[in-house]
């Protein structure tokens, strides 16, 4: 870990503001306002889906979407879905986040490490909501396929999706804000957001979750990350004022 710290520090500057080509001031203001609107809309959408699932009004839609996604069994697609879901299963799901946090600490990015811990908190949020609703997972049948995997807990919401949005979504935000080399920044952001975008379809395609489980997780996770990013910006601004 100590060996990679100089490389990470060479690409990151946690004390200076993002360069103008990343977030010009007017763009940052517009994005902040838009992000707040999106966060509230997602939170309302999550509440609506929570109510639909509790009332069992989404079952026909969920089954139709699952069957549609499972209809295409191309080997490359199935392999991609397995690869995308792999980081969310134990033991790797319990090793990857601490490694990322330790890497930030090794690079002396203590604030960023603390916020990544908070982003990982979406896993606890998922457990809390699962306990409240206790929705059964899909069961394999004549048409429905369920890939064997180490599953735990109930179906709503998807723990994979919620934790990916929190951990990798916020990680993408940190990369966008802090990483200076353009190619490296775009590669990191693209990879992390690609994982977030694909994990939802992978959970449905493998028969581990319903469409509404996944959609609700995207909505709740997005609200969480937007709020966390806003808090992060305030903390960084305050620290910059103190140093000034």
- Domain residue limits, the chain: 26-133+142-243
Please tell me the pTM assigned to this model. 0.86
More confident: 237 or 137 = 137
Q: What is the pLDDT of residues 88-114, one digit of tens each?
A: 999 999 999 999 999 999 999 999 999
Q: What is the pLDDT of residues 21-43, one digit of tens each?
A: 444 545 444 555 677 888 999 99
State residue 239's pLDDT score: 79
Share of the chain above pLDDT 90, in %: 67
Given a cut of 60, whether residue 66 has pLDDT beyond it is: yes
3-class DSSP string for the chain:
CCCCHHHHHHHECCCCCCCCCCCCHHHHHHHHHHHHHHHHHHHHHHHHHHHHHHCCCCHHHHHHHHHHHHCCCCHHHHHHHHHHHHHHCCCHHHHHHHHHHHHHHHCCCHHHHHHHHHHHCHHHHHHHHHHHHCCCCCCCCCCCCCCCCCCCCCCCCCHHHHHHHHHHHHHHHHHHHHECCHHHHHHHHHHHHHHHHHHHHHHHHCCCCCHHHHHHHHHHHHHHHHHHHHHHHHHHHHHHHHHC
Given a cut of 90, whether residue 122 has pLDDT beyond it is: yes
- Mean pLDDT for 177-182 is 90
State residue 216's pLDDT score: 97
- Mean pLDDT for 209-234 is 95
């Amino acid at each position: 870990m100590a060996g990679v710290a100089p490389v990470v520090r060479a690409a990151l500057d946690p004390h200076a503001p993002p360069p103008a080509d990343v977030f010009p001031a007017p763009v940052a203001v517009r994005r902040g306002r838009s992000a707040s609107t999106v966060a509230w809309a997602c939170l309302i959408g999550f509440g609506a889906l929570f109510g639909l699932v509790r009332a069992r009004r989404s079952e026909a839609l969920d089954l139709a979407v699952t069957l549609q996604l499972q209809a295409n069994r191309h080997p490359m697609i199935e392999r991609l879905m397995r690869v995308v879901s792999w980081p969310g299963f134990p033991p790797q799901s319990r090793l990857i986040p601490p490694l990322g946090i330790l890497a930030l600490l090794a690079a002396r990015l203590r604030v960023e490490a603390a916020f990544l811990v908070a982003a990982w908190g979406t896993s606890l949020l998922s457990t809390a909501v699962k306990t409240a609703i206790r929705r059964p997972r899909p069961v394999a049948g004549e048409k429905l396929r369920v890939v064997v995997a180490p599953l735990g807990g109930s179906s709503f919401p998807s723990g994979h999706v919620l934790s990916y949005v929190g951990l990798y979504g916020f990680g993408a935000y940190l990369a966008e804000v802090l990483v200076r080399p353009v190619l490296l920044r775009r590669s990191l952001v693209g990879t992390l957001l690609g994982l977030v975008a694909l994990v939802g379809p992978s959970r449905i395609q493998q028969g581990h979750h319903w469409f509404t489980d996944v959609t609700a997780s995207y909505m709740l996770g997005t609200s969480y990350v937007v709020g966390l990013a806003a808090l992060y910006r305030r903390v960084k601004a305050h620290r910059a004022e103190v140093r000034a």
